């Protein structure tokens, strides 16, 4: 008998079944295979060395959880027909297909288009190749389908995307803080008036999920050494672009060279979609990594210093503060840099970086997680929880600069 | 108080303590950091998508197990002084530092030197940088120290290398078959007349370890899709070298270009060690991956076909047979290829590959695993085990070629 | 060579080393072996069927974590000599030795002495048997030693007791919510002015620990079905005592019979310590379980009804409310019961039970968890955390009665 | 909407769904609830302290795996209708319901009927209570249904019973040796001409499964300390029966007393089924444990010595030998015992026990595991495997006696 499924081994969930047909064909497509070369969490492996998993792994995992969610909802009598099930599966599979090299890190540096918009462009291009079979998936992805809970499975405060990445990032970093009881969470999902709800007895699990997410932010995603490496990478790409714009040669593989040479905007992508998508589709982490290695020997001291640091993990120091940095302190640091004998005197724009990071595990202003109470009514979790949902966003200011510079800590209010 | 250790998160073992001092400094060295860019199991992730871990992860893990083995042996009264403990730790940390891109896969294609010899050259170079502090580590690595059990911890049929890679490859592939009870194994180690032995009650655990290793070979390391991908990579590099030797340009990052342009032998490395090591040290998986992507557009149809297949996971079919392939069958396949409209007619040397793979989980001809019986005597496990140690090696013959070719299966004796 | 340690297999932590000497001898003692017959979490297995682990498992686990904490603190330069290390190990090993059958459940019903007091009495008795070798352990247990951090490891808001039970109860229930990063927590411990502190970078882990504990309370320890079973057990024992006090025979194994026949107070234990401890030491879960099974056939309908329900898991319904129950509602239920044809009409004192449960994951009024900030100062976590430590206690009121009775839910304010 | 399933938390598999209806009702039945009080692996917890899981846990787990096997087979086009699915689920759920206290240990001592026969009697009794709804389950259990693969899922060399107990015993003992890749195994099942087969690519997994089973036998089930405890329990019950048969009172809970007083045979059960099943159904581990504790104080020194040892884990020494013990050596030991001042001089029948244990992980004489080869033919695994299936049974002889006796080891041929 002909097999209906391809089985993949996923260390996080075990076997994942991929049905032959459009789902299998999309995974086989070079656009999707490319995700094998884009790390899920950028340079996090410089702190958590196991965190080498990719957008490919994540997309497959989120697809797998979506199958479980569909089964669980159907088991409760929620109507989801075959076409809808396939469409929501396609939408989750492709939700991150627009990510470029190092995922979020270079999103505003190398490409000036949000990855979700690129995901949509890829879906539209694939829809043409697949003769319109992605129509419904695209409608769900854009939240234009009359069963909003399908969109919420793909994108929401309790979607299969978040569930997978918390599990997966925990598994590959080894940080147990992110482990969530996804089995229980999925079993507790239900639909009420077309929207996703969580049954009341899943309340503690949701609280735990939100806390796990918050802790993963501060312990992993915004870890200061990770942030420092990512900032250095941004500066490195910025410098390469600047040098090229000044006519100074900076070697790079052809697809990277294309995006170093010009600022490509959303409008450009819309205007010349097929060409630009194909350029973009050949670009991934390996181009950046190979280029950075080469740039260690570049004659520009700023570029070579940043590249050496990135290639060999000699990273800037990053400190967090609970208020914005005063301008005079930055001035003082720039002066130190200018006078430092081993650092490029004109490097201040690339070597002294300040900014802020904000995180809220949960937002009460967006589409809230709703709880289906035992009496049949529905309430947002922020009203139901006895334990205080942390909805307030939380901001920290940072300073990132070479370890050779001295920060006068009294002048700062360090966290 | 000053910290004595740096803590790393390893998803396999949890926290790993790295003592500040020479161990920490070696890990920080660019030669070692480079291992972050060399995957432990080459292209295995094409079958087991999570298998993205690197030689860096493995070296740290093997180092960690070595600390446990030292503690366990000392607990039993085996004398290991501070200097010896450090030296064996250095030896295990650096045992794989000589691996090139894609580890074993390209060992006889890109570089014609065994990785252990390169590891030794790196150690000698580092020994100079560290003023002779690696002398004892090198002696242990070369088995020239008067306590042979220290060498056996680094290299033997039950060394910390094998223990780590079985654990780690299981974790990242998700194949539970390789999980070994390493805690128990390490607790059962002892030393008898200077050599490593295993206490009798560890007998079942050793049997399980040998079986786990054998199964991992056939289920993971020699999986036919993995082997196919690796063979294609070898052919791809071979073709790039051939083209260059014919004067046809083949773009590549500079360090890769260096090794594509000439056959570098062991003698070359000995003659011009520092220069060649530095070239070699800038070469890793990312160069190959970036080059292969570029080569998809090369004008040579053989190179572009292989590169496209590798970059997008369109792999040759590989089949195993229990006897060598008959020459007339290969001839028939070459004829098919020559006449196939979508395959390069002159590609037979790169597109029709046959060979064999041999595996024995355990060898009775080498230094055997010895069991310390309860009566105080020592016997090799092959004599002690009641359950038949599989020492006989096991060979399979393979044929690897494009899926478009038809193999007349009646003529073969397929496994 | 003589072995120094006995190795135990613990599914939660792997191997646990028990040093030969007083630690081993205490574990071998019948008083300690008795803990094998006392379940850690009473009747929780009626909801989480795997939760069959015992006080024996927990004591060994807490001992194991204490060894890790000692090693971690010493690694940071905290002075803990051999005698102190042994004493704190003994204290944690024996901290729960005074628990009676079904742990906390019957603490105020069968024995009117707090288990910590009984633990102390057992330690004093053992101290006599072991010729005063428990002196220091007892001083630490009573917090009368000049290094208070040793007592805090045994009993405090972040002690090895809590760390083990969260891990262990998670493992055996399968509720992932309780999994804590104990490795990280222990690595972050330090001592400041003689008291335990947690280094600042362990802050998130502590928050996670407190949340895990709170969630385990509501999801496991105070689960309504668990609470219902425990309430029924209390009523069952109460009834058996009442019947006996009325001269009605109620069969029971001899040691249970002793405690059913009389109220044994703290004063009694102090007066006649050795005799009473020996009676108590023969009493465990198996006596209660065997007796309850027999009582199913007792002629008293109240006792037989409760016993049948307990033996066959036909449990009362328990509901939580956010305010105390009004007396008239209880009156109405008692009336229903009196008129119900299948329930004993005079059973109201045993069949209609109301009460309250209060939980705070963390108390700011007790000895707080203190954080050692990077600047060297120490602050209580409730001041340092940006994320709002839940110190407020949280109370729920419950009603527990047979399912046959109808609760007019409008009159209640159900949670 | 009414729920269709009850969810149970199983630490081994996570959530287990129990469909409301006959499956749920059978689990609720007192006969099944009784399995909560029968440990799966008898006294194994004396060596592996976590091994406290029960036949209840195992039956639920085997039921869960059966659901997965049904789904996997259906996915391959094997026809299994609703009624058959329910019947095979009932058969696996009840396959061990006939186990008495301490499972296999007392099977030939306390009750002289094999547990499978008692399981069948219970099923027939339940079939009457459930108006014939167990007819098909019973036919499957007895292998009298025309689809033999359904019986093979319940009882065979690769049944759901074995798969669950290897997983579960590994989880609760902490012995990783027994972990099997059950997901993979179940995915590889298929049906060929009505009988269960394993697809060829599952070959390694089957080999691993057989090895895991063999190692669990020697490392856990036949561990010498476990065996010693079980032998002591058998002697203890034997002695209690002997004393009672001599008219000497031996206290025991009523249902235990019933079986101590008389030898109950298979014929008795058939003759007086309902009465005897009800007696038997009230008997479980707690009766034995409570009685053994009491018997420590019995005036008979043989009974009290055995009981004290069992209650406080002071166990006999057990040694394995590779050939039967010579009679003169046993005679010499009996002499020692008769003259020992602290042991009962007439205790030889209870204190000096010799016997043998045989294990084969796999039998080629029974219904073999069959492999579905890629060419569509089916072969028994013993012919297909390249790695030598261990089908030969393996026997060890043991001697079990008090540690106070001296065994002249030269005279024995100890393993």
Burial code of B3-25, b = ≥16 C-beta within 10 A, e = fewer? eebeebbbbbbbbbebeeebbee
The confidence band for A415, taking pLDDT boundaries of 50, 70 and 90, is very low
The encoded tokens of residue A175 equal 């940080």
Contact C301, C341 (CB under 8 A): no
pLDDT tens-digit profile of C222-233? 999 999 999 999
pLDDT tens-digit profile of C309-326? 999 999 999 999 888 988
B213-227, B231-245, D354-368: the lowest-pLDDT one: D354-368
How is B3-56 classified by DSSP, letter by letter?
--EEEEEETTTEEEEEETTHHHHHHHSHHHHGGGGSBTTGGGGGTSTT---BHH
Handedness of CA C221, C227, C231, C233 (dihedral sign): negative
Phi/psi for A8 (5° steps) reads: -110, 145
Query: D touches which chains (3+ CB pairs under 8 A)?
Result: A, B, C
Residue C129 has pLDDT above 70, yes or no: yes
What value does the mean pLDDT take over residues C245-271? Answer: 93
**Residue C293 to residue D253, Cβ atoms within 8 A:** yes
Helix, strand or coil for residue C402? coil
Percent of chain D with pLDDT over 70: 95
The confidence band for A276, taking pLDDT boundaries of 50, 70 and 90, is very high
The encoded tokens of residue C35 equal 């803990």
Contact C394, C358 (CB under 8 A): yes
Q: What is the pLDDT of residue B415?
A: 47
Helix runs in A95-223, H state only: 115-129, 135-141, 148-154, 160-173, 182-187, 203-216
**Residue C11 to residue D289, Cβ atoms within 8 A:** no
**Residue A177 to residue C204, Cβ atoms within 8 A:** yes
Q: Of the candidates A52, A56, A253, which has its C-beta nearest B53's C-beta?
A: A52
Strand partners, B401: B317
Interface residue of B204, B212, B222, B321 to substitute, partner D, most D CBs within 10 Å: B204
Which 8-state DSSP code applies to residue C114? -
What value does the mean pLDDT take over residues D335-350? Answer: 93
**Residue B174 to residue A30, Cβ atoms within 8 A:** no
Between A305 and C15, residue with greater pLDDT: A305
Residue C361 has pLDDT above 70, yes or no: no
How large is the ipTM? Answer: 0.94
B103 at A interface, C-beta within 8 A: no
pLDDT tens-digit profile of B277-336? 999 999 999 999 999 999 999 999 999 999 999 999 999 999 998 889 888 889 999 999
Taking the CB of residue C345, how many other CB atoms lie within 10 A of it? 12
Phi/psi for C318 (5° steps) reads: -125, 135
Q: What is the pLDDT of residue C108?
A: 86
Contacts of D77 in chain A (CB under 8 A): 1
Mean per-residue pLDDT of chain C: 92
Residue of D nearest to A9 (CA): D184
D175 at B interface, C-beta within 8 A: yes
Residue B272 has pLDDT above 50, yes or no: yes
Sequence-separated (6 or more) residues with CB below 8 Å from residue B114: B107
Gap between the Cα atoms of C370 and C190, Å rounded: 10
C368-372, C391-395, D98-102, D227-231: the lowest-pLDDT one: C391-395
**Residue B37 to residue A289, Cβ atoms within 8 A:** yes
What value does the mean pLDDT take over residues B153-175? Answer: 95
Sequence-separated (6 or more) residues with CB below 8 Å from residue A393: A358, A359, A360, A363
Query: B touches which chains (3+ CB pairs under 8 A)?
Result: A, C, D
Contacts of C202 in chain B (CB under 8 A): none
**Residue C211 to residue A211, Cβ atoms within 8 A:** yes
The encoded tokens of residue D276 equal 């005897």
- Counting Cα atoms < 13 Å in the Cβ hemisphere of D231 gives 27
Gap between the Cα atoms of C256 and C342, Å rounded: 30
Handedness of CA A334, A335, A341, A346 (dihedral sign): positive
**What's the CA angle centered on D401, arms D395 and D406, to 5 degrees?**
105
**Residue C7 to residue B187, Cβ atoms within 8 A:** yes
D219 at B interface, C-beta within 8 A: yes
How is B279-304 classified by DSSP, letter by letter?
HHHT--HHHHHHHHHHHTT-S-HHHH
Long-range contacts of B328-333 (CB under 8 A, 24+ apart): B329/B408, B329/B411, B329/B412, B330/B354, B330/B399, B332/B408, B333/B399, B333/B401, B333/B405, B333/B407
Between A1 and B359, residue with greater pLDDT: B359
A321 to chain C, minimum CA–CA distance in Å?
13
Q: What is the pLDDT of residue C27?
A: 98
Taking the CB of residue D277, how many other CB atoms lie within 10 A of it? 18
**Residue A390 to residue C390, Cβ atoms within 8 A:** no
Sequence-separated (6 or more) residues with CB below 8 Å from residue B131: none
Q: What is the pLDDT of residue D387?
A: 59
Contact B177, D183 (CB under 8 A): no
**Residue A211 to residue C214, Cβ atoms within 8 A:** no
CA D403 and chain centroid, separation: 28
CA B379 and chain centroid, separation: 30
Mean per-residue pLDDT of chain A: 92
Q: What is the pLDDT of residue B144?
A: 97
Element (H, E) at D345: none
Sequence-separated (6 or more) residues with CB below 8 Å from residue A128: none
**Residue C9 to residue D175, Cβ atoms within 8 A:** yes
Gap between the Cα atoms of C149 and C88, Å rounded: 10
Contact A6, A64 (CB under 8 A): no
Q: Of the candidates B175, B208, B390, which has its C-beta nearest D388's C-beta?
A: B390
Contact B372, B200 (CB under 8 A): yes
Q: What is the pLDDT of residue A195?
A: 96
Gap between the Cα atoms of C300 and C248, Å rounded: 9
The encoded tokens of residue D327 equal 């009679």
Residue D345 has pLDDT above 80, yes or no: yes
Interface residue of B386, B391, B393 to substitute, partner D, most D CBs within 10 Å: B386
Gap between the Cα atoms of A159 and A195, Å rounded: 12
Which 8-state DSSP code applies to residue D42? G
Contacts of A211 in chain C (CB under 8 A): 207-208, 211
Q: What is the pLDDT of residue A407?
A: 84
Residue in the structure block whose two tokens are 């609830």: D33
Gap between the Cα atoms of C318 and A150, Å rounded: 36
**Residue D174 to residue C9, Cβ atoms within 8 A:** yes
**Residue D184 to residue A76, Cβ atoms within 8 A:** no
Contact B150, B137 (CB under 8 A): no
Contacts of B76 in chain C (CB under 8 A): 1, 3
**Residue A204 to residue C215, Cβ atoms within 8 A:** yes
Query: A touches which chains (3+ CB pairs under 8 A)?
Result: B, C, D
- Counting Cα atoms < 13 Å in the Cβ hemisphere of D138 gives 17
Residue in the structure block whose two tokens are 């003023």: B131
How far are the Cα atoms of A400, B35, B38, B58 from residue A49, in angstroms, in the given order?
22, 11, 13, 10
C278 at D interface, C-beta within 8 A: no
**What's the CA angle centered on C349, arms C343 and C355, to 5 degrees?**
115
Sequence-separated (6 or more) residues with CB below 8 Å from residue B217: B359, B361
Residue D187 has pLDDT above 70, yes or no: yes
Contact B25, B89 (CB under 8 A): no
Contact A69, A84 (CB under 8 A): no
Q: What is the pLDDT of residue D2?
A: 58
Q: What is the pLDDT of residue C385?
A: 78
Helix, strand or coil for residue A198? strand
D323 at B interface, C-beta within 8 A: no
- For residue C192, which of C377, C65, C375 has the smallest C-alpha distance? C377
How many contacts, defined by CB atoms under 8 Å, are there between A and D?
18
Residue C1 has pLDDT above 80, yes or no: no
- For residue B119, which of B158, B144, B93, B89 has the smallest C-alpha distance? B93
C1 to chain B, minimum CA–CA distance in Å?
7
Mean per-residue pLDDT of chain B: 92
The encoded tokens of residue A140 equal 């769900």
**What's the CA angle centered on A213, arms A208 and A218, to 5 degrees?**
125
Between B60 and D262, residue with greater pLDDT: B60
pLDDT tens-digit profile of A197-230? 999 988 888 888 888 888 888 889 999 999 999 9
Sequence-separated (6 or more) residues with CB below 8 Å from residue D154: D66, D88, D91, D92, D95, D140, D141, D160, D161
CA C414 and chain centroid, separation: 28
Q: What is the pLDDT of residue D392?
A: 63
Interface residue of C173, C200, C215, C379 to substitute, partner A, most A CBs within 10 Å: C215
B64 at C interface, C-beta within 8 A: no
**Residue A174 to residue B12, Cβ atoms within 8 A:** yes
Gap between the Cα atoms of C52 and C43, Å rounded: 9
SS3 of chain D: helix, strand, coil, percent, to 5 = 55, 10, 35
Alpha-carbon dihedral A116, A121, A124, A126, rounded to 10 degrees: -100
Helix, strand or coil for residue C155? coil
pLDDT tens-digit profile of A13-68? 988 999 999 999 999 999 999 999 999 999 999 999 999 999 999 999 999 999 99
Contacts of D184 in chain A (CB under 8 A): 15
Residue B364 has pLDDT above 80, yes or no: no
């Amino acid at each position: 008998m002909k097999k209906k499924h391809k089985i993949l081994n996923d260390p996080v969930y075990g076997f994942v079944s991929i049905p032959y047909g459009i789902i299998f064909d999309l995974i086989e497509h070079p656009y999707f295979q490319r995700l094998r070369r884009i790390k899920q969490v950028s340079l996090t492996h410089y702190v958590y060395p196991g965190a080498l998993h990719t957008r490919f792994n994540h997309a497959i995992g989120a697809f797998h959880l979506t199958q479980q969610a569909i089964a669980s909802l159907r088991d409760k009598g929620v109507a989801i027909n075959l076409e809808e099930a396939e469409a929501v599966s396609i939408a989750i599979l492709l939700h991150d297909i627009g990510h470029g090299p190092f995922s979020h890190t270079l999103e505003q540096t190398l490409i000036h288009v949000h990855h979700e918009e690129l995901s949509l462009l890829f879906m539209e291009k694939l829809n043409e190749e697949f003769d319109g079979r992605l129509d419904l998936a695209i409608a769900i992805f854009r939240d234009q389908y009359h069963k909003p809970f399908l969109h919420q499975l793909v994108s929401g405060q309790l979607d299969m995307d978040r569930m997978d990445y918390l599990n997966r990032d925990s598994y590959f970093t080894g940080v147990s803080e992110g482990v969530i009881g996804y089995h229980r969470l999925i079993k507790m999902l239900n639909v009420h008036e077309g929207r996703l709800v969580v049954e009341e007895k899943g309340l503690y699990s949701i609280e735990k999920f939100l806390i796990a997410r918050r802790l993963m932010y501060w312990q992993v995603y915004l870890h200061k050494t990770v942030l420092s490496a990512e900032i250095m990478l941004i500066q490195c790409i910025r410098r390469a672009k600047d040098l090229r714009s000044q006519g100074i040669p900076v070697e790079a593989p052809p697809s990277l060279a294309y995006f170093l040479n010009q600022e490509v905007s959303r409008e450009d992508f819309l205007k010349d979609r097929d060409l630009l998508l194909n350029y973009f589709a050949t670009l991934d982490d390996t181009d950046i990594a190979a280029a950075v290695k080469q740039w260690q020997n570049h004659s520009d001291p700023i570029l070579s210093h940043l590249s050496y640091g990135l290639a060999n993990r000699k990273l800037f120091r990053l400190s967090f503060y609970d208020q914005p940095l005063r301008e005079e302190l930055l001035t003082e640091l720039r002066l130190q840099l200018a006078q430092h004998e081993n650092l490029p005197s004109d490097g201040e724009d690339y070597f002294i970086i300040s900014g802020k990071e904000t995180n809220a595990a949960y937002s009460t202003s967006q589409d809230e997680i709703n709880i289906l109470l035992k009496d049949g009514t529905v309430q947002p979790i922020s009203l139901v929880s006895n334990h205080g949902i942390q909805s307030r966003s939380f901001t920290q200011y940072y300073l990132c600069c070479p370890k050779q510079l001295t920060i006068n800590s009294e002048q700062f209010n360090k966290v």
